[in-house]
């Protein structure tokens, strides 16, 4: 989907009933994602400090495995959200197309 199509969907949503509330809810989710990413980056920096200062191999390798698992989990959840968002936008585009066909008498 091109950038122009997404911009058109956003303009129509803002003009619909409750469009502004939906837009604000989506913006809040994006802010939540950015906050989570920032916390994730800080946690990774803390993990680097642990790896540099730890002397026990159990702590080093255990934290490395935990970091890999958390990263994989975050990636899977992010991919699922991207697919869900794309499907929702495609559905909205189809609804807009069907509405415009009905309005034009087609």
Contact 10, 23 (CB under 8 A): yes
Cα dist. 63→18, 40, 49, 66 in Å? 46, 14, 11, 5
State residue 20's pLDDT score.
64
Q: pLDDT tens digits, residue range 70-92?
A: 889 988 988 998 998 899 888 88
State residue 35's pLDDT score.
83
Q: pLDDT tens digits, residue range 27-65?
A: 777 777 788 888 888 988 998 898 899 999 999 999 989
State residue 32's pLDDT score.
74
Q: Residue 79: CB partners within 8 Å, gap ≥ 6?
A: none
Cα–Cα–Cα angle for 35, 68, 73, rounded to 5 degrees: 55
Alpha helix positions (H), the chain: 3-15, 19-53, 57-103
Give pTM, 2 decimals: 0.54
What is the distance between the alpha carbons of residues 75 and 69, in angstroms, rounded to a whole number?
Answer: 10
């Amino acid at each position: 989907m091109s950038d122009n199509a997404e911009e058109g969907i956003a303009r129509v949503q803002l003009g619909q009933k409750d469009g502004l509330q939906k837009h604000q809810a989506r913006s809040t989710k994006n802010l939540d994602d950015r906050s989570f990413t920032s916390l994730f980056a800080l946690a990774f920096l803390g993990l680097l400090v642990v790896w540099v200062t730890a002397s026990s191999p159990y702590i080093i390798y255990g934290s490395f495995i935990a970091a890999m698992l958390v990263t994989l989990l975050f990636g899977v959840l992010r991919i699922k959200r991207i697919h869900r968002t794309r499907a929702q936008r495609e559905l909205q585009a189809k609804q807009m197309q069907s509405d415009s066909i009905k309005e034009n008498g087609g």
